[in-house]
Amino acid sequence: MDLAAWIISIEGTETGKTTAMILALVAAFMHAALGVLQKGRHDPWMSRGAVDISVGLISIPLAIFVVPLPGPELWVLFPGMMLIHLGYKWLVAMAYSRGAFSAVYPVVRGTGPLVTVIFAGVVFGEFFSVGQWGGVALLSGGIFALAAYNLRKEQIDRQILLAAIGLAFLAGVSTAVYTVYDAYAIRAAENPFTFIVWFFLLEGVLFPLLLWRRWLQADDLVGLFRRGILGAVIAYFSFGCVFLATRLDKVGEAAALRETSVVFGAIMGWLILGERIGPVRAGLMIVIAGGAVFVEFG
């Protein structure tokens, strides 16, 4: 049995639910890593563009030789998918260019699960228990508290800071939109890996083309694409894992577990970017992790 057939065979089973939980946590770790990579010394627009080009190039041989061609059910959904993800990338890059990673990232991730649970309830008829709603409240509340704590140390103009937070909030809403839309698309696909590979193939086209003026002014393309190739590998795991998780189990649960990326992001910000954690942030990360536990087992 190949991997795609195995994924399909465990849909709706306890094995599928456990696998979805593991995949969502892997996605959380990888998503945080991708965020840190995008917030490095390079322009966040160019960093994301280099990742997209790299991930598109990786996807070409996979699309030709490994996975079946998409059916008509996916071609209908691909244009909307590309536009939604383009909007998300634009909002994230705008937010990162205005505020510190430790302040902006939690706002993006805290908004996502609240809105996703609501959207998933409308689109897929998902039901959350009182305990799970409590977990969502703990998780998002902890993330927003983490953002508020980090904002206290921001030394930039108030108007710029408010713009960064507003853009981060909109990016969080767009996260919920693309999570539900992509979940609908991968569930419609006959082969889930066809959707994943073609998603990345198409992702490697639109956003980089919109950056053509910046490519002409770039002064460290070698370093940029070194990061881009690494980011492409991370992105495949980050988005690929959460795609599969939303096919195997509730979209809302997968989205909430993915937002433990804030915990991973804070740790990476400390280890890689030199940002301090401290007792308050450590306590909030425990709250966030506890909320994720309630979402999964509540």
Q: What is the pTM of this model?
A: 0.86
CA distance 57 to 232: 9
pLDDT of residue 296: 82
Q: Which 3 state secondary structure label does DSSP give 185?
A: helix
In order, the DSSP letters of 239-268 are HHHHHHHHHHS-HHHHHHHHTTHHHHHHHH
Please report where in the chains the tokens 């492409």 appear, as a residue: 232
State the Cα angle at 146 between 283 and 228, rounded to 5°. 115
* C-alpha pair distances (Å), 165 with each of 38, 192, 206, 277: 17, 35, 26, 20
Tell me how long the chain is: 298
Return the closest-CA partner of residue 250 out of 9, 23, 4, 3. Answer: 23
pLDDT score, position 64: 94
| Residue 260: per-residue pLDDT | 86
Residue given tokens 């980089």 in the structure block: 208
CB atoms < 10 A from the CB of 1, how many? Answer: 8
Given this model, what pLDDT does residue 155 score? Answer: 64
Low-confidence residues of the chain, pLDDT below 70? 1, 38-44, 100-102, 153-158, 211-218, 220
What DSSP assignment string belongs to 15-33?
Answer: HHHHHHHHHHHHHHHHHHH
Residue 254 and residue 31 in contact, taking contact as beta carbons nearer than 8 Å: no
pLDDT at 240: 94
CA–centroid distance for 58 within its chain: 19
CB 189 within 8 A of CB 70: yes
Domain, as residue range, for 186: 3-297
Domain count, the chain: 1
Euclidean distance between CA atoms 104 and 248, whole angstroms? 30
Spatial separation of the C-alpha atoms in residues 148 and 167, rounded to whole Å: 15
> Tell me: the pLDDT tens digits for 256-287?
898 888 788 778 878 877 777 778 888 888 88
Both structure tokens of 199: 């998603």
pLDDT of residue 16: 95
What pLDDT is stored for residue 112 in this prediction? 85
Note the pLDDT of residue 81: 93
Which amino acid type is present at position 105?
Y
